Structure 1
Amino acid sequence: MRCSIKYNWPLLVLNSQSMSVLGSVVHWFRLDLRVHDNLALRNAINEAENRKNFLRPIYIIEPDILKQIRGNRLRFLIQSLHDLDANLRKLNTRLYIVRGKTSECLPELLKKWNVKYLTLQVDIDPFYIKQDEVIENFCDKNDIFVVKRVQHTVYNPQTVLKKNNGNVPLTYQKFLSLVNDIQVKECIEIKKEISEDCKSSDFNSKSYDVPSLTEIELDESSDFKYPGGESEGLKRLLTYMAKKQWVCSFEKPNTSPNSIEPSTTVLSPYISHGCLSARLFYHKLKQVESEMRHSEPPVSLLGQLMWREFYYTAGTGTENFDRMVGNSLCTQIPWGNNKDHLKAWSEGKTGYPFVDAIMRQLTQEGWIHHLARHMVACFLTRGDLWVSWEEGAKVFEDLLLDYDWSLNAGNWMWLSASAFFYKYFRVYSPVAFGKKTDKDGLYIKKYVPELKKFPSEYIYEPWKAPQSVQRAAGCIIGENYPKRIVDHDKVHKENMKKMSEAYKINKEKKALKRPRSD
């Protein structure tokens, strides 16, 4: 279910009499919720100081969008905005929260505040691209200078594409070869306090304050495992970078998808919201790696960051990257449309305890291990349920703290063997995969408490337990916990045949489109 949120915030009332005589410079925060390594923000500060204009760093909260964000993501966002406001106040400025539809309220504010200079970050999410088109068109007509900076990635995706003759690199190794000689710029810092002259008369107005969790009907007292914000992101980064041996020996396949506490950094939510600079993470990793022998991409920590860069490049250069139809990279597969299966999967009620534990952890905490994501994505698509990867991507968009448009689409295509990865016959077992790192099923017992009294020998396959064992455990399969919705051993073989046929048809279609040579 999506969050049910009521909005009682006052709407901005704008009229010609409230126009500012003195001009303003605006920095528009979106996916760059930080002060460190924020060149667009520094450009705005310098321009405001030089022009003797008011500085207004803004963030726009759109009610329609917030209704689509689940509790964990919304909580993380609001906490990040509070932290951003606190860090801006250390620089003698503040965050102005604007409530309304961007395409309507931002042009009005730019007029009201007499803005002639607007800075923002380049983002490739189609949602932000549409916003940019509207706002840039307005700015062009109203003589407002717009500065956009690439600062959400280590590399500029357009630069990478240009090096590859405008083509998307289709393999990770090809991407690495393209960026190998690109120098990564150093991070910038903003330390100087901003002049008092840059404070507007509405600086202390409560109407621009960040809403509290209570205002958006979230419990402030509840324990939240991964609090949002730049401060927390930097703290987490420094904590892990201090573990130099751990960083240098990190290898993705050797981490556990079902450990009770994360076996990875969980820095991804902070990077995806822009609370932590990807470029800062890159430089910190390179610094640690320079001191001792270390693992290499794709399995190293740096390799994990490069996967993000790879998908950003692919997403930048591919039309309709987040859908199957019209996506030149994506194999066209006739997925089924079993809504009951999709619902059971999303709610953690498939009857496969390992799959259900992963999905319930995701719902409760907003984060799951990347190998756990592999498991449930494969299970939903080519492995077991034959449901479109687009449907799974929508669920992850709702639930993941670290939801990222390009990574979400890219990973779902990979795991469904629709693009980038074509060994569709390599299917994760919903039984054997979890046993490798948690044979007693402690992870399952935590997130699927109905099964906590089941003996270890049946914890991954509770349907095999005798009735006497089920009664002793206080959980009857089919009553207290669902029966498995498919037989993995049977259905994954059937799905492999479907994948083989889809690949064959796609290959034939591509052959027909190729121009003949006379």
Structure 2
Amino acid sequence: MSPPALFWFRQDLRLADNPGLDSLGDRPALLVHVLDDSAAREHALGGAQRWWLHCSLAALDAALRARGSALHLARGDATRIIPKLADEIGAEEVIAGRLYEPWARRRDEAVAHTLEKAGRKLVLHTHSLLHEPHRLRTGAGRPYSVYTPFSRAIFALGEPHPPIPAPKRLTPVAHPPRGESLDALGLLPPGPDWWRGFSASWTPGETGAAERMEAFGKCAIDRYEEDRNTPRIEGTSRLSPHLRFGEISPRQAWHAAREAGLKGEAGFLKELIWREFSYHTLWHRPELPEQPLRAEYARFPWMASRPALRAWQRGLTGYPIVDAGMRQLWRTGWMHNRVRMVAASFLVKHLLQPWQQGEAWFWDTLVDGDLASNAANWQWVAGSGADAAPYFRVFNPVLQGRKFDAGGAYVRRWVPELAKLPDRHIHSPWEAPAEVLSRAGVTLGRDYPRPIIGHAEGRARALAAHAALRAEEAAA
């Protein structure tokens, strides 16, 4: 019989299209997941992600048991746990999907070093991206810093390999060591059970991911370009948390979109490539989550304010489209993509709060919190990142609401205190006449806040801050 192996599940919580798992063949293997908060430190899983992971691990274990194996759970320092488990079962190889976060790369180096000293090896496969970031270079041999040529380069590589079927059976090791129970990992966030409502919106796990992809491929993808910016309807794929935890691979999503053959396919594939671009940026610029990629933005004159940040977090800015998004985030662990841009722009431009504050809040409250995408998108909005939005692009939250939530259905759902306002005033209640507010049962400042800052004032202040930064840079 072949010597046993250890397979380390990480951001690939699925059986299908899992090259590392497929490489096991009929070898006996211990299938392991380690909750290692110490390695990530400040980027340890946020509360919403911990809920998702709890549910996803339960689903994965059930799928493994149906194939004759089970999931071994552990908690602690993976640099000690993984080599120890490999030694206990006599594994020659530890197999895993490659990770790209700076802390994960350092951890893998440490694990590989320890294994090597014991005559074992760490074998990494591509599990969570279409292509390895270090293999994509410009014609000058440099990493890409602009999305459009990066996208062209991805398309020029041709179609990704077809997905690999899930193994029909897996062989466990003869005497597996005892692991932790799922509850013992303590993943479910303590305190208020704000996460209990998540299950009404999501089905974590590989089956849930497949169902979501199938539903999107049958219906929404045909109108993807038209509907993706309309928050009141399900016009997006909502695959982001499934991709983040690897319950579906980008290869599977790519080929499913191709097979659907509908007109929204190209737009959806470009979104997958934007995700790849974020990882490409993180790989080559590991400071992405903490430091602005454009060095001059380290001197940006932010006006950090705890009350302003708190009003934004709670959905009490006085701008209905922003507040609706922030409340949707709190209730469901997710926010519509268009509203994410509006809410993020409002925080960093109208309120001049450091983008890192918004990034941290999203990290804790998003079920799809993904270090590369979260950091890259916040830096894009702030103007400090790769291929960033121009500094003078300041979303007008009233006009954005009127354009993308014309009838106010999205705002009425998430900001119910404004539900009785007519369409004309739903996105700017402070402009409504007193009698209109009275009929709607709204007293501004009591039932719903007045705007925390006027749009014209916020925009002027943001442009002045950027002008001051540019003047300082010119004088340097």
* 1:177 maps to 2:149: no
Q: Which runs of 5+ in 1 are unaligned?
A: 1-21, 510-518
Deviation per residue, 1:172-229 (Å, 9 max, x gap): 221023223324222222334234xx433347x6x44433999846687974311210
* 1:124 maps to 2:91: no
Structure-2 change in CA distance of 1:331 and 1:257 (3 Å)? farther
Instruction: Please say which structure displays the higher CA radius of gyration.
Output: 1
Q: Is the 8 A contact 2:5 2:86 kept in 1?
A: no
Structure-2 change in CA distance of 1:371 and 1:212 (3 Å)? farther
Structure-2 change in CA distance of 1:139 and 1:334 (3 Å)? farther
CA distance in 1, matches of 2:142, 2:473: 21
Per the alignment, residue 241 of structure 1 pairs with 217
Question: What SS is found at the alignment partner of 1:180?
Answer: helix
Structure-2 change in CA distance of 1:273 and 1:484 (3 Å)? same
Matches within 5 A, 1:60-459: 60-62=34-36, 69=45, 71-161=47-137, 163-183=138-158, 184-195=160-171, 198-202=172-176, 207-211=179-183, 216=188, 223-243=199-219, 246-251=220-225, 254-259=227-232, 261-289=233-261, 294=263, 297=266, 300-325=267-292, 327=293, 331-332=297-298, 333-382=300-349, 384-419=350-385, 420-459=387-426
Question: What SS is found at the alignment partner of 2:79?
Answer: helix
CA distance in 1, matches of 2:215, 2:41: 32
TM-score when normalising by structure 1: 0.82
| Aligned-residue RMSD, C-alpha | 2.8
Q: Is the 8 A contact 1:25 1:118 kept in 2?
A: yes
Question: What SS is found at the alignment partner of 1:80?
Answer: helix
Structure-2 change in CA distance of 1:452 and 1:242 (3 Å)? closer
| Structure 1 counterpart of 2:307, one-letter code | D
Give the deviation of 1:373 after TM superposition: 0.8
CA distance in 1, matches of 2:336, 2:91: 44
Moved more, 102-111 or 120-129: 102-111
Structure-2 change in CA distance of 1:257 and 1:367 (3 Å)? farther
State the percentage of identical aligned residues.
26
Q: Is the 8 A contact 2:154 2:273 kept in 1?
A: no
Give the deviation of 1:492 after TM superposition: 0.6
Whose helix fraction is larger, Structure 1's or Structure 2's? 2
CA distance in 2, matches of 1:61, 1:266: 25
Give the deviation of 1:329 after TM superposition: 7.2
| Structure 2 counterpart of 1:36, one-letter code | A
CA distance in 2, matches of 1:324, 1:107: 33
Moved more, 433-442 or 262-271: 433-442
Give the deviation of 1:507 after TM superposition: 5.9
Q: Is the 8 A contact 2:112 2:121 kept in 1?
A: no
Question: What SS is found at the alignment partner of 1:411?
Answer: helix
Deviation per residue, 1:268-327 (Å, 9 max, x gap): 1101110001011112222333xx6x3575xx11111111112211221113111225x3
Structure-2 change in CA distance of 1:249 and 1:450 (3 Å)? closer
CA distance in 1, matches of 2:181, 2:211: 25
Aligned length: 466
Q: Is the 8 A contact 2:46 2:363 kept in 1?
A: no
Give the deviation of 1:145 after TM superposition: 1.2
Question: What SS is found at the alignment partner of 1:394?
Answer: helix
| Structure 2 counterpart of 1:481, one-letter code | Y
Give the deviation of 1:108 after TM superposition: 3.2
Question: What SS is found at the alignment partner of 1:431?
Answer: helix
* 1:36 maps to 2:16: yes
Matches within 5 A, 1:477-516: 477-506=444-473
Q: Is the 8 A contact 2:128 2:249 kept in 1?
A: yes
* 1:56 maps to 2:56: no
Structure-2 change in CA distance of 1:454 and 1:328 (3 Å)? closer
TM-score when normalising by structure 2: 0.89
Deviation per residue, 1:104-134 (Å, 9 max, x gap): 4334333333332101111112232232132
Give the deviation of 1:418 after TM superposition: 1.7
Give the deviation of 1:466 after TM superposition: 4.3
| Structure 2 counterpart of 1:311, one-letter code | S
Moved more, 334-343 or 109-118: 109-118
CA distance in 2, matches of 1:330, 1:32: 37
Q: Is the 8 A contact 1:95 1:209 kept in 2?
A: no
